[in-house]
Amino acid sequence: MADTHRDAIELRLPSELRYLSIVDAVTQAIVRDLDWDADAAGNFSTAVIEAAANAIEHGNGLAAGKSVAVRFRVHPGSVEVDIDDEGSGFDPRPYERELTTEDLLRPRGRGIFIMRSFMDRMEFQRLPSGGMRVRLAKNVASVTKPGGNAG
């Protein structure tokens, strides 16, 4: 039977890219506990890392003294992650498009596409503080190993 009572897990990181490995380690530990297959776990973590990297680099501008919050919530049918920055927000609409052939050799501009590709839901919210929240969610049914615990 699915356990409906789950704790939220929250990380608060300085705005330094080197701490993304901690995000990966925690993300992988959470979804391993849910018995996700390795590919799904890797893709999920890749999407979370993208959001965290954007928050660190673009949201907070790598500023010392600004932090990024990564909050995981495990629900019976899905895993949800909020990534909050302390920046001044941005308009995600120009980035919410399919990649074209012309985009292939561009060095930037594929982070939001990656998040959308690996997640079932992606939302952007402006926070009262002015920063940005990216909410990512993945439905559990599609990612567990056969015979595993769906969480």
Partner 1 sequence: MKIQPRQVGDVVVLDVDGEILGGPDTEAFDGAVQSALANGGRKVLVNLGGVHWINSTGLGILIAGFTAMQRGGGSLKLVNVSERIAGLLAITRLSTIFQSFQHEDEALRSFD
CA proximity to 55, closest of 136, 134, 118 = 134
CA dihedral 141, 125, 11, 85 (to 10 degrees): 150
Instruction: Extract the tokens encoding 45.
Output: 């973590």
CA proximity to 44, closest of 19, 58, 24, 59 = 24
Q: CB nearer to partner 1: give 21 or 88.
A: 21
**Least distance to partner 1, CB of residue 50, Å:** 6
CB 54 within 8 A of CB 114: no
CA proximity to 49, closest of 73, 74, 19 = 19
- Span 98-137, contacts to partner 1 by CB under 8 A: 99, 104-108, 110-111, 113-114, 117-118
Q: Is 12 in the site for partner 1 (CB under 8 A)?
A: no
**Least distance to partner 1, CB of residue 40, Å:** 10
CA proximity to 56, closest of 107, 89, 14 = 14
Q: CB nearer to partner 1: give 53 or 75.
A: 53
| Options 3-11, 49-57, 79-87, 121-129: segment touching partner 1 (CB under 8 A) | 49-57
**Least distance to partner 1, CB of residue 99, Å:** 7
Q: Is 27 in the site for partner 1 (CB under 8 A)?
A: no
Q: CB nearer to partner 1: give 62 or 141.
A: 62
Strands in the chain per DSSP E = 8-14, 67-74, 78-84, 121-126, 132-139
Q: Is 49 in the site for partner 1 (CB under 8 A)?
A: yes
Interface with partner 1 by CB under 8 A: which residues?
A: 17-18, 20-21, 24, 38-39, 42-43, 45-46, 49-50, 53, 57, 62, 99, 104-108, 110-111, 113-114, 117-118
